[in-house]
């Protein structure tokens, strides 16, 4: 049983001072956080969930859509993190090896943390990360329960010649959940021996989405092109998601429209629309729109490879309404889209028909966001050199 702790300031979500007893005992979902500030001298440490029964749920984004965002935020903010300083190259030190054991487990692990009595670290809400509960300083750590490793994780962990990219793909192909691969990369458990490093959690999330989606896009480009227009529309949690899949080579765009009062437009008075895109060769720069770009790309590439088995030009659009006023992390985009792609799409024979249908769907007038989309405003305008081919002599 976890010992009690008390939140003195109950003004959620920013309880400012948390008093803890010296020792905290309980299940880690498992979850290990690696900070990004002061990189390469970062902070790292495990967290403990508030309950034993559903502990694994506390750090398993793949199942969070089913529990509601309010409940999720409460759950996440109730976790306690014990953090200590580490250099990113310390992956072979005894303390980090112990953290790797915890992070790689596929079941919750009972741990005992000895922490400083006073901790003054607020919960953290960012665009990339799931909400992080209060954090305090970790003095010592003991693994009290059993650690259980899945075969594919065990294989790549002990293969110190395998490059991190290859390990990530291998884990994905072996159906290891994305969130578990992200944890493994973050705690420095993947890659060739000499180059294994701790990777801040928020960077690891994006890196894994990026590496897997790149691999999937390679496979997408080997498939036959889609021969109709498919439209997926999903609404939930004060968000509207639209996916337009069009005949054509792989081109991808992710666009977000943040309404005033939503998480990233709290002070604004106008809807803020941003987008980023890539052609068949992908991007060479980080998209200004952030990690959601890679999370959404992974979801749609996965659907093209495993679901439709077709290559397509893809435009994804999201409207974020006033009620969605707390950032919850990029997992939300990935998992929402994965769920959306399980639904049956509407079929159209032209992009014009798609546009006509969407006039009744989006709150931002369709002409406005359509014009801002690189892919939509240019779709069908590029001609092929094959129209100008030399005719063979008979």
Partner 1 sequence: MEITFSDARVWRYIFSSASKFMDSLLLTVNEEGLTVKGIDPSKTALIEFTIPKDSFDKFEIGGESTVQINLEEAGKVLRSVERDDKISLRWNESSITFIFENRGVPRYFTLPLQTEETQKIPELSLELGNTFKMPGDALYEGITGIEGVGEVLLIEGDEGMLKLRSESDLGEAEIVFSTEKGILEEAAVKNPGFSVSYGMEYFTYLKQPIKIAENAVLKAESDMPAELTLTFIQDAKLKYYVAPRAE
- Closer of 110 and 210 to partner 1 (Cβ): 210
Query: What's 221's DSSP letter?
Result: T
Least distance to partner 1, CB of residue 173, Å: 20
Least distance to partner 1, CB of residue 252, Å: 13
- Closer of 16 and 378 to partner 1 (Cβ): 378
Q: In whole angstroms, what is the distance from residue 123 CA to residue 183 CA?
A: 20
Nearest to 202 by CA among 29, 39, 317: 39
User: Which residues lie near partner 1 (CB under 8 A)?
Assistant: 221, 248-251, 279-281, 284, 374, 378, 380-391
Q: Are 102 and 48 in contact (CB under 8 A)?
A: no
Q: Is 51 exposed, middle or buried (0-12, 13-18, 19+ CB in 10 A)?
A: middle
- Closer of 58 and 370 to partner 1 (Cβ): 370
- Closer of 146 and 284 to partner 1 (Cβ): 284
Q: Are 242 and 358 in contact (CB under 8 A)?
A: yes
Least distance to partner 1, CB of residue 181, Å: 24
Tokens for 177, please give them: 């959940």
Least distance to partner 1, CB of residue 292, Å: 23
Nearest to 172 by CA among 205, 209, 128, 199: 209
Least distance to partner 1, CB of residue 362, Å: 20
- Closer of 169 and 263 to partner 1 (Cβ): 169
- Closer of 66 and 380 to partner 1 (Cβ): 380
Of the CA atoms within 13 Å of residue 30, those in its CB half-sphere come to: 29
Q: Is 25 exposed, middle or buried (0-12, 13-18, 19+ CB in 10 A)?
A: middle
Least distance to partner 1, CB of residue 347, Å: 24
């Amino acid at each position: 049983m976890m010992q009690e702790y008390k939140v003195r300031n109950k003004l959620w979500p920013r309880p400012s001072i948390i008093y803890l007893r010296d020792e905290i005992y309980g299940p880690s979902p498992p979850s290990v956080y690696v900070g990004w500030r002061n990189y390469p001298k970062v902070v790292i440490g495990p967290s403990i969930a508030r309950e034993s029964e559903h502990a694994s749920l506390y750090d398993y984004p793949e199942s969070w859509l089913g529990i509601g965002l309010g409940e999720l935020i409460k759950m996440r903010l109730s976790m306690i993190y014990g953090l200590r300083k580490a250099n990113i190259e310390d992956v072979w030190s005894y303390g980090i090896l112990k953290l790797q054991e915890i992070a790689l487990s596929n079941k919750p692990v009972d741990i005992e943390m000895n922490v400083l009595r006073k901790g003054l670290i607020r919960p953290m809400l960012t665009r990339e990360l799931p909400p992080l509960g209060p954090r305090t300083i970790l003095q010592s750590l003991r693994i009290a329960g059993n650690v259980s490793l899945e075969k594919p994780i065990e294989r790549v962990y002990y293969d110190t010649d395998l490059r991190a990219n290859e390990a990530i793909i291998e884990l994905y192909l072996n159906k290891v959940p994305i969130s578990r691969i992200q944890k493994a990369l973050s705690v420095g458990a993947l890659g060739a021996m000499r180059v294994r490093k701790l990777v801040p959690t928020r960077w690891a999330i994006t890196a894994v989405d990026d590496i897997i989606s790149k691999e999937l896009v390679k496979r997408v480009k080997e498939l036959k092109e889609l021969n109709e227009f498919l439209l997926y529309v999903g609404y939930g949690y004060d968000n509207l998601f639209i996916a337009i899949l069009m005949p054509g080579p792989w081109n991808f765009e992710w666009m977000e429209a943040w309404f005033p009062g939503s998480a990233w437009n709290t002070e604004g008075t106008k809807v803020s629309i941003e987008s980023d895109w890539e052609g068949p060769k992908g991007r060479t720069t980080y998209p200004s729109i952030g990690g959601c770009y890679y999370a959404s790309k992974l979801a749609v590439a996965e659907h093209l490879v495993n679901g439709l088995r077709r290559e397509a030009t893809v435009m994804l659009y999201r409207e974020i309404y006033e009620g969605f006023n707390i950032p919850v992390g990029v997992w939300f985009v990935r998992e929402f889209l994965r769920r959306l792609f399980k639904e049956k799409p509407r079929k159209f024979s032209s992009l014009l028909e798609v546009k006509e249908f969407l006039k009744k769907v989006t709150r931002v007038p369709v002409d406005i966001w359509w014009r801002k989309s690189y892919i939509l405003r240019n779709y069908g305008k590029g001609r092929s050199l094959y129209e100008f081919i030399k005719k063979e002599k008979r």
